[in-house]
């Protein structure tokens, strides 16, 4: 992979979005409605619209992408421009990464989640047999363009998913600025850039997810279990927030944090509008169910069950929790 693309300067913040000169476009189908003038032009580039659904993040959609590339005779030296949220970025970037062993890739994240998380760091993947992102690779984009006005057409529920990943980052680094997780607020441009660059910086230090990058997985072990066991009924960010809450619980139980840190940590979570259904669902799960599912997580190896856990306020560490549970 192109590790030199993992640098904060690859993230470009623009006030005006210019239409690409050449190459192909893959875009979330919803963008055709919201930004018709931009995408639907007479002299436009060949464009493939795809539905952004977790259920269609699979090899069938990948085949549609490969067929589009083949028909358009995409060359390795051609650029594919991808406009969309996390699902479209993950799916289409995996297509670009594997077509002719990799073509040029530029990402234009249209959701907050994609701007601060999914589009950063080169991970791309499809789901397989119910497991999220089971098939994938690392293929950083050569450029990530953040155009904040995209956020104005985002539903509050979508905006919240991005804030969830930001809140996760807030918990793993004391350096990041405070965030407002209440439903109505949109993070400022400079804060979006701050958080996006924070993630990029961590990825650059550990491109293949073998060390510090794993701290970005905070809240994800239980979060993924929740998504999977609920048949992806719950949104990713919401599930991560529930996972963070469960991780704080576990840290307190294991004595990794004291009640004071627990209380401080919960304070930031309290303003996040977590759907009550998630809490209810989580409370019905048994510990053995959760553990057996968590072991399937692709970041685990052998019999260990490694989790990112708080060891202080806004401080996390990776711990093997299998002997203690």
**Could you say whether residue 146 binds a second copy (CB under 8 A)?**
no
Cβ–Cβ < 8 Å for 159, 237:
no
CB burial readout 289-313, b (16+ within 10 A) else e: ebeebbeebebbeeeebbbbbbeeb
CA–CA separation, 256 and 252 (whole Å): 6
- Considering the rule CB under 8 A, would residue 205 count as an interface residue with a second copy? no
Residue 246 structure tokens: 């469960």
Contacting a second copy (CB under 8 A), which of 173, 230, 300, 322?
300
In sequence order, what are the residues at sequence separation of 6 or more whose Cβ sits closer than 8 angstroms to the Cβ of residue 258? 252
Min dist CB 210 to a second copy, Å, is 9
Minimum distance of a second copy from residue 173's CB (angstroms): 24
The answer to whether the beta carbons of residues 107 and 86 sit under 8 Å apart is no
185 is a contact residue toward a second copy (CB under 8 A): no
In this structure, what token pair is assigned to residue 56?
Answer: 């269609």
Q: Which two three-digit tokens encode residue 57?
A: 């993040």
Q: Residue 301 is encoded by which pair of tokens?
A: 């190896």
For residue 300, give both structure tokens.
């685990």
DSSP string, 138-162: E---SEEEE-GGGGGGS-HHHHHHH
Shortest Å, Cβ 259 to a second copy: 36
- Least distance in Å: CB of 110 to a second copy? 24
For a second copy, give the closer residue by CB, 262 or 293: 293
Of 93-101, 142-150, 212-220, 256-264: span binding a second copy (CB under 8 A) = 93-101
Binder among 55, 100, 233, 267 for a second copy (CB under 8 A): 100
Query: Of 141, 139, 110, 135, nearest to 57 (Cα)?
Result: 135
The residue among 79 and 110 lying less far from a second copy, judged by its C-beta, is: 79
Asked if 131 touches a second copy (CB under 8 A), the answer is yes
Q: Shortest approach of a second copy to residue 322 CB, angstroms?
A: 14
Nearer to a second copy, 24 or 261 (CB): 24
Applying CB under 8 A, among 4, 12, 41, 76 the residue interacting with a second copy is: 76
CA gap 278, 29 in Å, rounded: 28
Give the DSSP H/E element, type plus range, for residue 19. Answer: none
**Residue 298 is a binding residue for a second copy (CB under 8 A):** yes
- Give the number of residues in contact with a second copy, rule: CB under 8 A: 36
Is residue 102 a contact residue for a second copy (CB under 8 A)? yes
Please state, in angstroms and rounded to a whole number, the distance separating the CA atoms of residues 53 and 232.
Answer: 10
Please, what is the minimum distance in Å from the beta carbon of residue 41 to a second copy? 24
204 binds a second copy (CB under 8 A): no
Residue number, 191 or 300, with CB nearest to a second copy = 300
Quick check: 209 binds a second copy (CB under 8 A)?
Answer: yes
Question: 55 or 298, CB closer to a second copy?
Answer: 298
DSSP characters over 234-280: S-HHHHHHHHHHHHHHHHHHTTSS-HHHHHHHHHHHHTS---HHHHH
* Residue 66 interacts with a second copy (CB under 8 A): yes or no: yes
In the complex, minimum distance from the CB of residue 128 to a second copy, in angstroms, rounded to a whole number: 6
Q: Which of 117, 114, 107 is nearest to 170 (CA)?
A: 117
Q: How far is the CB of 52 from a second copy (least distance, A)?
A: 21
Q: Using the rule CB under 8 A, is 78 a contact of a second copy?
A: yes
Q: Is the distance from CB of 247 to CB of 218 less than 8 angstroms?
A: yes
**Residues at the interface with a second copy (CB under 8 A):** 1, 59, 63, 66-67, 70, 73, 75-78, 97-102, 123, 125, 128-129, 131, 133-138, 208-209, 296, 298-302
């Amino acid at each position: 992979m192109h590790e030199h693309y993992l640098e904060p300067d690859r993230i470009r913040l623009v006030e005006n979005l210019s239409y690409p000169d050449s190459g192909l476009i893959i875009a979330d189908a919803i963008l055709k409605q919201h930004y018709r003038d931009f995408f639907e032009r007479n002299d436009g580039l060949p464009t493939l619209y795809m539905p952004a659904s977790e259920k269609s993040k699979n090899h069938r959609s990948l085949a549609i992408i490969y067929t589009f590339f083949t028909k358009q005779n995409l060359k390795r030296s051609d650029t594919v421009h991808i406009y969309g949220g996390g699902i479209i970025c993950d799916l289409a970037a995996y297509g670009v990464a594997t077509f002719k062993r990799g073509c040029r890739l530029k990402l234009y994240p249209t959701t907050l989640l994609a701007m601060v998380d999914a589009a950063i760091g080169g991970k791309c993947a499809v789901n397989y047999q119910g497991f999220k992102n089971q098939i994938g690779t690392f293929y950083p984009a050569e450029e990530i363009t953040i155009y904040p006005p995209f956020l104005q057409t985002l539903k509050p529920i979508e905006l919240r998913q991005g804030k969830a990943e930001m809140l996760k980052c807030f918990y793993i680094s004391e350096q990041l600025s405070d965030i407002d997780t209440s439903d109505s607020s949109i993070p400022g441009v400079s804060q979006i850039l701050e958080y996006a660059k924070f993630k990029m910086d961590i990825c650059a230090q550990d491109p293949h997810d073998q060390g510090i990058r794993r701290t970005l997985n905070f809240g994800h072990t239980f979060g993924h279990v929740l998504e999977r066991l609920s048949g992806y009924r719950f949104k990713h960010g919401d599930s991560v927030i529930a996972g963070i809450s469960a991780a704080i619980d576990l840290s307190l139980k294991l004595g990794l944090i004291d009640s004071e840190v627990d209380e401080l940590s919960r304070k930031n979570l309290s303003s996040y509008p977590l759907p009550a259904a998630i809490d209810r669902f989580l409370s019905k799960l048994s510990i053995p169910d959760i553990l057996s599912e968590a072991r399937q997580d692709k970041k685990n190896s052998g019999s260990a069950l490694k989790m990112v856990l708080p060891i202080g306020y806004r401080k996390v560490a990776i711990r093997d929790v299998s002997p203690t549970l």
